């Protein structure tokens, strides 16, 4: 079984991007930590893009393959209705979607307080740094 761990814009810059907010681990580090934490036979398919269309295509793939998704939509969280409409199809298909954030957006600028994704997510985990991803994957594994 595979879990798609999808990451939106600027998350490929983790490690050097605002480390005081996002920590010092790169996305590859986070992916390696996840891969090491799951039981054998579980594949962590970690991807990142700065491109909204590509991210939407990956959500469509998850719907069609019925693969659970951990999604850090990054800034798309706050304004991409197109990504939300894609994610709504996971909900219709009964495929779990866990929205994750490294930081807790509610402690930050006002524009980060709105998520257009949360309303179609199974649940949201935010504020625990790289552990946000771990918690999301743990939940998916316990509900498969």
Block residue for tokens 């954030």 = 101
103 is in an annotated binding site: yes
- Report the C-alpha gap between 84 and 59 in whole angstroms: 10
* Closer residue to ligand DQA, CB minimum distance, 77 or 122: 77
- Report the C-alpha gap between 43 and 20 in whole angstroms: 30
- Report the C-alpha gap between 88 and 36 in whole angstroms: 30
138 is in an annotated binding site: no
Neighbouring C-beta atoms of residue 143, cutoff 10 Å: 9
Encoded one letter per residue, x for contact with ligand DQA by CB under 6 A and - for no contact, window 52-91 reads --------------------x-xx-x--------------
Quick check: 2 and 43 in contact, CB under 8 A? yes
* Closer residue to ligand DQA, CB minimum distance, 47 or 66: 47
Residues belonging to the binding site are: 72, 78, 85, 102-103, 112
* Residue ranges that bind ligand DQA, judged by CB under 6 A: 10, 72, 74-75, 77, 101-103, 105, 112
Would you please indicate which residues are annotated as catalytic (active-site) residues?
Answer: 22, 101
């Amino acid at each position: 079984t595979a879990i798609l761990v999808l990451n939106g814009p600027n998350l490929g810059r983790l490690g050097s991007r605002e480390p005081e907010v996002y920590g010092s681990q790169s996305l590859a580090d986070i992916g390696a930590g996840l891969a090491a934490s799951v039981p054998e036979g579980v594949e962590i398919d970690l991807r990142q893009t700065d491109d909204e269309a590509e991210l939407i295509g990956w959500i469509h793939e998850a719907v069609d393959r019925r693969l659970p998704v951990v999604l850090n939509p990054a800034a798309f969280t706050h304004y991409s209705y197109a990504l939300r409409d894609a994610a709504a199809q996971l909900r219709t298909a009964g495929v779990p979607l866990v929205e994750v954030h490294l930081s807790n957006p509610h402690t930050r600028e006002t524009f980060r307080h709105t998520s257009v994704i949360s309303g179609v997510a199974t649940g949201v985990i935010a504020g625990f740094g790289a552990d946000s991803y771990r918690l999301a994957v743990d939940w998916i594994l316990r509900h498969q």
